[in-house]
Amino acid sequence: MMTMNIERFVSKGKGNAGEAIHSCEPYSFCIAKDFLKTACHSCLKRSPNSWPDHKRECKCLKRLQPRIPTDSVRLLTRTIFKLLSQTESDQEELYSIAEHQSHLADMSEEKKEGLGHLCTTLQVYLGEENGDLSQLPPGLDPISLLARVTCNCFSISDGELQDVGVGLYLSMSLLNHDCQPNCVMIFEGKRLTLRAVRLIRPCEELTISYTDILATSKERRWEDLLKESQALLHRYTDVVPDRNIYVLRLLDLAMDASISLDDYKTALEYGNRALEPYKLYYSDPHPSRAVELLRVGKLQHYMGRLEEAQGSFTQAYDIMKVPHGTDHVLTNEVRRKLSECQAELGQV
């Protein structure tokens, strides 16, 4: 079945802030490597489910034990299994995988070599399933398919915007980047919902932000991470302001490390310092600022600072109800925490 050649997403009509514009399930997805043993392979929550989707993949995982391939290889494998089992009547997306750009011609030789190594891993991972690759649709050899998948997949996040998986949402690849987007993507399990964060005019292009300004690629042990973060923050405290992106990232890391070490007083100090910079970089109603306010509010509540916690939860709810909607599990959590504070303060 041929699909329409559409190059961007536009709004059919007027959209209000907080309105759900589009919702969809992934074409294919996989659990992030760190969550393989704890998250369900269907709903991404901590319960077993989804054996039909996982059955074929399970053979491949056993073949490589104790090694686990990268998320991109496992996502590609699930995409291949889906392509091989899919009938023409199953195709409901605006774009098929074959119509997605691979950008191979634009890649450096180094990146192409990296894709080649991943394809080698794929062949080992598939084992006896390798013979099925000849049944792929024309033009979808493993390396071009891998390029298409890695260029067009999205990280799947949980309620607190922590990455728990990666998915291929074919129609969503039409969304272009904007530093001041009019939409955000919110996940409930693996289901993606595109929500407006401001008023959208009819026929206006729908945009999202591709990147997290504060993203980092390094992971360290929490004790070492906290020590290094504190040393750097102390060294530059009178030289570089908290609104500096790198200082803000350090504040986030120090807060995460402190929470992991059950040092909630220190975590709250760093969380409070991060609130103003978050407001600067993540203008309302950005979900990242709402989640940061929720985290700080939880710490304030735990420390018995009820009035401060009430203020943080109130701000978090006012922001979160726009990108998440009033029925999202995280919005309900904020509302519940706010009610707890009000009850403890004798306001209800």
Contact 129, 60 (CB under 8 A): yes
Q: Average per-residue pLDDT in the chain? A: 84
pLDDT in the model for residue 304: 93
Give tens-digit pLDDT for 50-67: 555 667 777 787 777 777
Spatial CA neighbour of 194 closest among 162, 166, 171:
171
Mean predicted confidence (pLDDT) in 17-45: 80
pLDDT in the model for residue 218: 42
pLDDT in the model for residue 53: 60
Do the bridges between strand 163-168 and strand 153-157 make them parallel or antiparallel, or are there none, so unpaired?
antiparallel
Q: Alpha helices, DSSP H only, in 261-328?
A: 264-281, 287-302, 306-320
Contact 178, 209 (CB under 8 A): yes
Contact 185, 193 (CB under 8 A): yes
The position carrying tokens 């985290």 is: 295
Do the bridges between strand 163-168 and strand 183-188 make them parallel or antiparallel, or are there none, so unpaired?
unpaired
- The answer to whether residue 300 scores a pLDDT higher than 90 is yes
Give tens-digit pLDDT for 178-237: 888 999 999 999 999 999 999 999 989 999 987 654 544 444 467 777 888 888 898 888
Mean predicted confidence (pLDDT) in 288-316: 95
Number of Cβ atoms within 10 Å of the Cβ of 23: 12
Q: How confident is the model at residue 88 (pLDDT cuts 50, 70, 90)?
A: low
Q: How confident is the model at residue 75 (pLDDT cuts 50, 70, 90)?
A: very high
- The answer to whether residue 93 scores a pLDDT higher than 80 is no
CA–CA separation, 229 vs 251, rounded Å? 8
CA–CA separation, 99 vs 84, rounded Å? 17
Give tens-digit pLDDT for 120-165: 888 888 877 666 777 888 878 888 999 999 888 999 988 777 888 9
CA–CA separation, 3 vs 12, rounded Å? 19
Q: What is the pTM of this model?
A: 0.67
Contact 73, 18 (CB under 8 A): no
Contact 93, 27 (CB under 8 A): yes
Contact 148, 125 (CB under 8 A): no
For residue 57, the SS3 value is helix
CA–CA separation, 234 vs 255, rounded Å? 15
For residue 342, the SS3 value is helix
What distance lies between CA 323 and its chain's CA centroid?
14
What are the chain's domains?
20-208 (1.10.220.160), 222-344 (1.25.40.10)
